[in-house]
Amino acid sequence: MAEENVTLVTEFVLTGLTDQPGLQAPLFLVFLVIYLITMVGNLGLIALIWKDPHLHTPMYFFLSSLALADGCTSSSVTPKMLIIFLSQNHKISLAECLTQFYCFGSSATTECFLLSVMAYDRYVAICNPLLYPMVMSNSLCTQLIGASYFVGFLHSAIHVSLLVRLTFCRSNIIHYYYCEILQLFRISCTDPTVNTHLVLIFSAIIQVFTFMTIITSYSFVLFAILKKKSEKGRSKAFSTCGAHLLSVSLFYGTLFFMYVHPGSGPTEDKDKMFSLFYTIVIPLLNPFIYSLRNKEVIGTLRRIMKR
């Protein structure tokens, strides 16, 4: 009996979004459609940008990198969730669980930095348009994109390496639809205090730093827009930046609530609802938020469809 009590768990059970049998099939269809639209939207946006030489500018390079990160975020979570909806087998191995969290954590962190880089790009384009070609050179764009992905990979790797030190022997049930790191802490037999503190510290540093970069950049952009005498110029600038701000507000609002909020936090059901925004909804919306309000992207799409 003593040996059984200390048996380490190497396989988990994901409970999913709901345990009501009648909702499994409808939810499967809903999230399958969402996932297909997400991948077509993001991969299609990447293809449009790389196919049209007119879109080979810093802003669109950043946008294609953001679309790639969104596609990775959705793909790290949604396929397993779809399997859970239709299958009686909700099991996921420890290795699969760590891999899923690593992929999600990497892409989510990368997106934070890409959004801040895109805000800086808009600041230079609107506030210093004459210096824009020199400041935002191709080499700098490549370095910024590479650094964003590198930090994302490194940040996620740190948390995964610390997760490996934890043992799971009490329960193997994760009351979630993917291997969310805070849920793993709750079922750990090892004291996860160090892990919890590092998640809070890293999340606060990354989210606050990138968010403040965005706010600072757009503050300067706002002042520059208000100085414009041309009503057409103001409208164009607001239109360009409005899509970015909408994406930022949705993304950071839910992330702040999940990982940087004080106190004991929201209930489990609210956790799931908020996490759905940054894992499912935002990757779906981003390509449409940026492309539907962008005349150059729409023009490229029309030319390709005519061919």
Q: What percent of the chain is modeled with pLDDT above 70?
A: 88
263: left (phi over 0), alpha (psi -120 to 50) or beta: left
Domain containing residue 273: 2-306
Is residue 28's pLDDT more than 70? yes
Phi, psi at residue 176, to the nearest 5°?
A: -160, 175
pTM: 0.88
* Span 166-175, average pLDDT: 85
Per the CB < 8 A criterion, the answer to whether 223 and 234 are in contact is no
CA distance between the termini of the chain? 71
Average of per-residue pLDDT values in the chain: 85
Is residue 92's pLDDT more than 70? yes
Supply the CATH number for residue 105's domain.
Answer: 1.20.1070.10
Q: Looking at residue 187, what DSSP letter applies?
A: T
* Span 117-125, average pLDDT: 90
Per the CB < 8 A criterion, the answer to whether 288 and 83 are in contact is no
Is residue 293's pLDDT more than 70? no
Q: What percent of the chain is modeled with pLDDT above 90?
A: 39
User: What is the count of structural domains for the chain?
Assistant: 1
Per the CB < 8 A criterion, the answer to whether 11 and 92 are in contact is yes
What integer pLDDT is reported at residue 262 of this predicted model?
A: 47
C-alpha neighbours within 13 Å on the C-beta side of residue 274? 17
What integer pLDDT is reported at residue 4 of this predicted model?
A: 46
Three-state DSSP state, 91: strand
Is residue 303's pLDDT more than 80? no
What integer pLDDT is reported at residue 2 of this predicted model?
A: 41
Q: pLDDT tens for residues 144-155? A: 999 999 999 999
Q: Are strands 91-93 and 173-174 parallel, antiparallel or unpaired?
A: unpaired
The residues that bridge with 173 in the sheet, in sequence order, are 13
267: left (phi over 0), alpha (psi -120 to 50) or beta: beta
